[in-house]
Structure 1
Amino acid sequence: MSPRFAPPPAESIARDVSLALAEDLGAGDVTAALLPDDTDCAYLLCKENAVVCGRPWFDACHRALDPDVRIDWHVAEGDRVDKGTVLATLQGRTRALVSAERASLNFLQTLSGTATTTAEYVVAVSGTGTRILDTRKTIPGLRLAQKYAVRVGGGVNHRIGLFDAVMLKENHVRAAGTLTAAIRAARAMHPSLPLIVEVESIAQLEEALREGCDRILIDDFDAAMRREAVRIAKAAPFNGTIPLEVSGGVDMTTLRVIAEDGVDFISIGGLTKHVRAIDLSLKLGPPPASAQ
């Protein structure tokens, strides 16, 4: 697996899976108990074009209920697949295959949805040099999983939470008195953490550039202000050393224009907030001859 696709720690995946199975199975799968507990096969079908993401969670769900299950993947994590593709075949205990079905599909369809959407945004800005960022607008409890899916889709992770980067916004500047004071206080308190500064004007942009930080968020700039911000940040004496990020009001109709203005990053909450799951199904038996 590519280092860029490195999933969250195994204990994080195990925790996700444990919670998912507990809420689905409760005291036991009363319907699966009607089935003979012998060995059967199954196949995993993708019913629309997608970027595959979530294999570690899918596998963990099935292995939690049947450690001896055999899962043969026909595609790699991050592969683009067409509608009708058989993603994997499984062989294991019938009851375990059925009991793990919904939880395993929930992870795979949700994370594939995030990866697929991210890939669409990445393609839309191709050739501009702009990179697509996620946000903290994630499904509660699944942040590491969704941010992994963003990477699989070709995007870049913003800060994971409120602990791994300092992000100064309007209220912090107001409390400190000036933007410069806020930046200096943040540097003094958290010298080893990345510092991201949101600015509301060209004057604040220039102040942040002079004072120094790791990234500048130009939120709610109109097109003319955005282009002027790019010009200033890339010109001497700053020479593009501090990247610019755009956030807010971004969709497929505005994305390319913003990227072509020369910004370094565009952050999009919808990658993880507006999740549309990919249509998948797990069916007992061998795949039909007509399946890919």
Structure 2
Amino acid sequence: MPTHDRPSAVAPGLDDAWLARVVEVALDEDLGTAPGRDVTTQATVSPSATGTAELVARAAGTVAGLVVVDETLRQVAGRLGLPAPAVTFHAQDGEAVAPGQVLASLAGPVQVLLVAERTLLNLASRASGVATAAAAWARELAGTGARVLDTRKTTPGLRALEKYAVRAGGGANKRMGLHDVAMVKDNHVVAAGSVRGAIEAVRQTFPDVLVQVEADTTAQAMEALDAGADFLLLDNMPTPVLAATVAAVRERQGRDGVPAHVELEATGNLTLDRAREVAGTGVDFLSVGALTHSAPILDLALDLRPVR
């Protein structure tokens, strides 16, 4: 089978320090405060016992999160005072995998392999489930000119991993949080008194960020465009209304101070069977919270080989 020195950075941007913190917290949940203990493994397996294990896909999907394997093994080995197992990867993040396919081979102290097992499976299975969902949308949208986006509806503490997985599956990330893009919604408009007032307040306070405005109707979209929005979120619009709104915005592009291309994002009540229909309206993006809040895990397993 083919091998890889380490998982490909198909989706760059997963910070090493962040990953180390997440793995540390996950291990603390299982073992207790560092160094912690695994009372079953440490009672039944000698520290000197070595063995091999295979990380295997139990279902078809798109794999992501293989980047957690090395970090989890490294931290567990450090807690136990044992050498870190060697890892040979046979798949890369973002790759389509089949049931029974070996994703990685691990060799080293059995205590480390067993203590690390659930943590690395939890993280990689979760990431692979998100990547699998994103890949399904990416396939459905292929050739339309539109891309699928994620949202902030992520698992608390795992946003970076889940957004990484979306990229690995062929999707794209929207804002990472409340800090990098302004999103003017109805409550902000109420607080500021108007769409224009909200946009001007953001530009005055945080001139370095882009401003997106949520619109439920064509009239709201045009108001936001006139007020200087950088891009528009078209929320819960029936397909005919969405198409009309897109056409109205495109007709205004390049005129009266409107940018030559205004990015448009459809959201709300989006399902895979509607993906191409919605993309056909001419939007640039479809944002789908279900990529992260509802994607089932991809079933992965760690199979231990005979112990020496």
TM-score by length of 2: 0.89
> What is the aligned partner in structure 2 of residue 31 from structure 1?
40
1:81 aligns with 2:87: no
In 2, Cα distance between equivalents of 1:4 and 1:77:
6
Q: Does the 8 Å contact 1:40/1:93 carry over to 2?
A: yes
In 2, Cα distance between equivalents of 1:2 and 1:52:
11
1:165 aligns with 2:175: no
Q: Does the 8 Å contact 2:10/2:93 carry over to 1?
A: no
In 2, Cα distance between equivalents of 1:170 and 1:24:
42
Tell me the SS of whatever aligns to 2:100. coil
Within the candidate set 122, 141, 153, 1:125 is matched to 141
Distance change (3 Å), C-alpha of 1:284 and 1:115: same
Within the candidate set 265, 281, 284, 1:245 is matched to 265
Q: 1:96 is aligned with what amino acid? A: V
Q: 1:142 is aligned with what amino acid? A: L
1:50 aligns with 2:56: no
Tell me the SS of whatever aligns to 2:190. helix
Q: Does the 8 Å contact 2:253/2:261 carry over to 1?
A: no
Q: 1:164 is aligned with what amino acid? A: D
Q: CA deviation at 1:253?
A: 2.1
- Unpaired stretches in structure 1, ≥5 consecutive residues: 287-292
> What is the aligned partner in structure 1 of residue 3 from structure 2?
none
1:277 aligns with 2:297: yes
Q: 1:166 is aligned with what amino acid? A: A
Percent of residue pairs bearing the same amino acid type: 39
TM-score by length of 1: 0.93
Q: 1:30 is aligned with what amino acid? A: V
Distance change (3 Å), C-alpha of 1:280 and 1:4: closer
In 1, Cα distance between equivalents of 2:112 and 2:212:
47
When the two chains are superposed, the root-mean-square deviation of aligned CA atoms in Å is: 1.6
Distance change (3 Å), C-alpha of 1:240 and 1:132: farther
Q: Does the 8 Å contact 1:233/1:240 carry over to 2?
A: no
Aligned residues: 286
Within the candidate set 217, 228, 236, 2:244 is matched to 228
> What is the aligned partner in structure 2 of residue 261 from structure 1?
281
Q: Does the 8 Å contact 2:10/2:94 carry over to 1?
A: no
Q: Does the 8 Å contact 1:59/1:104 carry over to 2?
A: no
Distance change (3 Å), C-alpha of 1:2 and 1:92: closer
> What is the aligned partner in structure 2 of residue 105 from structure 1?
121
In 2, Cα distance between equivalents of 1:125 and 1:55:
26
1:65 aligns with 2:76: yes
- Unpaired stretches in structure 2, ≥5 consecutive residues: 1-6, 78-82
